[in-house]
Structure 1
Amino acid sequence: MNALRNKVQLIGHLGSKVEIKTLESGKIMGRVNIATNEVYRNAKGEKVTETTWTNLVIWGKNAEILEKYTDKGSEIAVEGKLSNRSYTDKNGEKKYITEVVVNEILLLGGPKAEKANQEVMESDLPF
């Protein structure tokens, strides 16, 4: 039951190409945002689409796979946990960020996605 305490699942489209960094420790980290849409009808019966943008942090092999097989607009499914952090910007103001730290990815649609998903499944890395 502990696994359900902080679990997020999203399906959406990437807002850009994944940005990859190799840290001093040698770990690979990727950052990208994902757009998820909610469609509903308002009180007048008009169809309304609301888009929510969420920041993703992806580590290791999953980051490499997203960089290799996806582009802006690619549809993916992710599972991870919410993470909150803060930093002080160059003007001395404290900024707060909420992001999803991804531990599983699934690329949706097309032959590139099938190849990438196979690579994910064959990976022995936990994230």
Structure 2
Amino acid sequence: MSLRNSVSLLGYTGKEVEIVNFENGGLKATVSLATHDHYTNAKGEKIEETQWHSLVAFGKTAEIFQKYVIKGKEIAINGKLTYRSYEDKDGVKRYITEIRVEELVLLGGK
């Protein structure tokens, strides 16, 4: 994995993994991942922020997601940041930022 475009995250999945089977036998897995950050604001109050990330995996990594990752599962991932765009049904251009997972570590119980 190149360090020029490298993302490492530790968090909890926010939904069940969605699987797409391609005609050529390939597999794609998508899931959201929540990461949390804590800080103290100027008033001395402890603030927790949650950030949501869109993950996508292909091939063997997608198979692991399909078999072992459920909603609420704690995971660690390494991957790279990707961007893509598409036109919705109304002709409006939409942009998507995803993390393409190259390595997955299952954490926590079960």
Asked whether the two chains share a fold, i.e. TM above 0.5, the reply is yes
Looking at structure 2, the residues matched to 22 and 70 of structure 1 have their Cα atoms a distance apart, in angstroms, of 17
Looking at structure 2, the residues matched to 54 and 13 of structure 1 have their Cα atoms a distance apart, in angstroms, of 10
Larger displacement relative to structure 2 (39-48 or 63-72): 63-72
Query: Secondary structure of the equivalent of 2:66?
Result: helix
Question: In the TM superposition, what is the alpha-carbon distance from 1:57 to its structure 2 partner?
Answer: 0.5
Question: In the TM superposition, what is the alpha-carbon distance from 1:93 to its structure 2 partner?
Answer: 0.3
Looking at structure 1, the residues matched to 93 and 24 of structure 2 have their Cα atoms a distance apart, in angstroms, of 27
Deviations 1:49-72 (A, max 9, x none): 111101000111222222222211
Q: Does 1:36 align with 2:39?
A: no
- What is the aligned partner in structure 1 of residue 80 from structure 2? 81
CA contact (8 A) 1:17 1:67 kept: no
- What is the aligned partner in structure 2 of residue 46 from structure 1? 45
Larger displacement relative to structure 2 (7-16 or 18-27): 18-27
Higher helix proportion, which one? 1
Letter in 2 for 1:87: Y
Q: Give the TM-score, by structure 2 length.
A: 0.95
Looking at structure 2, the residues matched to 4 and 108 of structure 1 have their Cα atoms a distance apart, in angstroms, of 24
State the aligned residue count: 110
Looking at structure 2, the residues matched to 107 and 15 of structure 1 have their Cα atoms a distance apart, in angstroms, of 15
Question: In the TM superposition, what is the alpha-carbon distance from 1:25 to its structure 2 partner?
Answer: 2.3
Looking at structure 2, the residues matched to 87 and 75 of structure 1 have their Cα atoms a distance apart, in angstroms, of 31
- What is the aligned partner in structure 2 of residue 7 from structure 1? 6
Q: Give the TM-score, by structure 1 length.
A: 0.82
Unpaired runs of 5+ in structure 2? none
Unpaired runs of 5+ in structure 1? 113-127
Query: Secondary structure of the equivalent of 2:80?
Result: strand
- What is the aligned partner in structure 2 of residue 97 from structure 1? 96
- How high is the sequence identity, in percent, across the aligned residues? 55
Deviations 1:61-102 (A, max 9, x none): 222222222211110000000000000001110000010000
Looking at structure 2, the residues matched to 107 and 88 of structure 1 have their Cα atoms a distance apart, in angstroms, of 35
- What is the aligned partner in structure 2 of residue 125 from structure 1? none
Higher strand proportion, which one? 2
